[in-house]
Amino acid sequence: MSDRTGIFTGDDPFIIARRWLEEAEQAEINDPNAIALSTVDKDGLPNVRMVLLKEIEDAAFVFYTNYESKKGQELDQAGKAAFVMHWKSLRRQIRVRGIVNHVEGPQADAYYKSRSLKSRLGAWASKQSRPLSSRSALMAEVAKVTALHGPNPARPSFWGGYRIDPVEIEFWADGAFRLHDRFVWRREIGEKNWAVTRLNP
C-alpha cells in the first residue's frame, strides 16, 4: 500500500505539480514560478540560470526565451534539460529531467502577445547572452525597434518557447531532523506510464 498521502497524493505528477505551484502562489513573495534551469554546452560543461516557468501542461513544462541565447543554443544542441523549482515558504521542491522541444506557432504567439509592450519590444532589442557595450546602447536599440515595429510587434522568429517532456519528476518536502520525504516518478522516453519510488532523504 502506497504511503503517498497528504501533499503527495495523486496519480498524475502534473496535477500534483500544478497543485504545489498554486499553493506557492499564495505563499511565495516573488516569482513562485521561478525555476533553476540546467543545460550543458558542447563540451558537457553545465550551466544553470533562473527562468520563469509559464505553463504546466498535461504532459510537459513550458518556458520562453531567446532561441539564440546561450541557453537556447545549449538546449537545441543537447535536446535535454533539467530544472529545480524550490519554494522556501513551503519547504518543498520539484526536480525535473527530460527531453526538450520548441513551442512555436499559435501557442508561442499567444503568450508573446500576453506580455507587456515593453517586454515584447525588449525581446526584439536584446541580443541575449552576447556582449553589450553599455546600457545606453541597449536603450538606443529599444528605441530603434519601437520605431520599427510600433505598438503591436509580431513575435520575433528567434524568440519562443521550450517544452520539457519529463522522464523524471521528483517531489521533495522538508521533514523533521532532515528526514525529508522524496518521491520520484520515472518513465522511459516516449512512454506514458510512470513508476513511483520513495527515496531515502
Supply the residues annotated as catalytic. 178
Residues 170, 69, 121, CA angle at the centre, nearest 5°? 110
Residue 155: all three cell numbers together: 513575435
Q: Is 52 helix (H, G, I), strand (E, B) or coil?
A: strand
Residue 6: all three cell numbers together: 497528504
* Helix 105-114 × helix 117-125 angle, to 10°: 120
Of 53, 45, 31, which Cα lies nearest the Cα of 164?
53
Specify the residue for cell string 529531467: 97
CA distances from 163 to 64, 79, 105 (A): 9, 11, 13
